[in-house]
Structure 1
């Protein structure tokens, strides 16, 4: 677990970042970028989505085998085959994480997954339990959390914590929330979910931010989440990602450095590596565009 004021930087450039148009990478480019992210000091490196393709699975496995420093994570839906594929891909890692997710908003449950709330609770618990048989470090994300009924969000987070999740991520999947709303969500979870905070007052479970920039508030929302108790920030280099992008790692890191008076937190990011990391990603994307 992180110390109380330590912010865990979870980089998803190689997973969520790759989902933006023109941002796909070849095998060797992913490995080069992963080594640079390790140089930057990211704590968790989400290397891909193992079930998505054999290529993605192979890239995650190669990064897990060759990159040292960050914890290597693979994304997985709350499905047995996804979790097993994720487990295989991260197996060579020195430190590994399975990151499993399930939609929690009624809109997603009804329109996308076509399952009931009760089925979602069962699926979340079973999937986290299964993931824990492969890895001690398991993250659960309640997809579309910021448009989820608050009482149900408490329920699904509670079952994930009880099943053994060590990190709980509260994604603003469609970039919908505002800083005050997002902060209130974290405060509510700390108050209502048993087991997040231990008897010693320290976090047993890390709460995490994951913000998209559709309304231009991804970084502001991330910082609001941190001020409300989140201790992991999910982000990407250059803010790349689906639609308008993710919260930009470099902006969060700069805010934590410049505004220590308001944000008195520590982290492992090496600020002198921000520019070379940003430039490497930019060059890879330029090569992709030229190749099209």
Structure 2
């Protein structure tokens, strides 16, 4: 693959649907996915399979119909989430599971109530489990821009070692300005020893 290739990951059907008034019916989701596929978008994040029966069904149907795009389901770093995602995307020609967990100190302390070591162990287990469904696994470091740099490098390295083929660096709460975010990506490239084994993805917020 050319180093200059930009891969388009469209999350209209997952993150986009969270916007006020943006809820879609099954038929509308399929129509959006079919149009994205005709546009040759590389990856369609079709939903969050574990979230509801409706989301699971929509992802599964989109996976059956898509001809070009990879079809992806979001999943938390939980085995049940991974299982739902894996089953939902199974009919796709190129299925992807996108699993995530937070890495920032504030989230670990107050939301997840986990230590840094516990999170690293969760990354290993859930990425490895996702690999049992598909070789195409994306891992996200939720709240990456507020994460201690050295720990973020370790978390990314751990995910890649466990089998992640794409690592996503999201600015979950819109914390960084563009120059800061660019520097973060550059530092990840310079400080994660196995970063050459994965594609770097970014998810920037403007809301």
**Same fold, TM-score > 0.5, yes or no:** yes
Show the 5 A alignment for 1:147-166: 147-166=146-165
Uncovered stretches (5+) of structure 2, i.e. residues with no partner: none
Q: Is structure 2 residue 185 aligned with structure 1 residue 207?
A: no
User: How many Å separate the matches in 2 of 1:160 and 1:4?
Assistant: 22
4+ long deviations beyond 3 Å = none
User: How many Å separate the matches in 1 of 2:178 and 2:59?
Assistant: 33
Considering Cα pairs closer than 8 Å and 6+ residues apart, tell me whether 1 or 2 has the greater RCO: 1
Show the 5 A alignment for 1:116-127: 116-127=115-126
Report the Cα offset of residue 12 of structure 1: 0.1
Report the Cα offset of residue 194 of structure 1: 1.5
Report the Cα offset of residue 112 of structure 1: 0.8
Q: Deviations over 1:169-207 (max 9, x none)?
A: 00000111111111111111111111122xxxxxx2100
Report the Cα offset of residue 55 of structure 1: 0.4
TM-score, scaled relative to structure 2: 0.98
Which residue of structure 2 lines up, in the alignment, with residue 83 of structure 1? Answer: 82
Which residue of structure 1 lines up, in the alignment, with residue 92 of structure 2? Answer: 93
Which residue of structure 2 lines up, in the alignment, with residue 66 of structure 1? Answer: 65
Report the Cα offset of residue 144 of structure 1: 0.3
Show the 5 A alignment for 1:51-62: 51-62=50-61
Report the secondary structure of 1:102's partner residue. strand
User: How many Å separate the matches in 2 of 1:97 and 1:184?
Assistant: 28
Report the Cα offset of residue 6 of structure 1: 0.4
Report the Cα offset of residue 111 of structure 1: 1.1
Q: Deviations over 1:202-245 (max 9, x none)?
A: xx2100110110xxxxxxxxxxxxxxxxxxxxxxxxxxxxxx2x
User: How many Å separate the matches in 2 of 1:189 and 1:161?
Assistant: 13
Q: Is structure 2 residue 34 aligned with structure 1 residue 41?
A: no
User: How many Å separate the matches in 1 of 2:164 and 2:199?
Assistant: 9
Q: Deviations over 1:31-54 (max 9, x none)?
A: 001001112221000000000000
Q: What CA RMSD, in Å, does the superposition of the two structures yield over aligned residues? A: 0.8
Which residue of structure 1 lines up, in the alignment, with residue 193 of structure 2? Answer: 194
Which residue of structure 2 lines up, in the alignment, with residue 167 of structure 1? Answer: 166
Show the 5 A alignment for 1:1-292: 2-197=1-196, 204-213=197-206, 244=207
Alignment coverage as a number of residue pairs: 207
Uncovered stretches (5+) of structure 1, i.e. residues with no partner: 198-203, 214-243, 245-292
Report the Cα offset of residue 133 of structure 1: 0.9
User: How many Å separate the matches in 1 of 2:42 and 2:23?
Assistant: 23
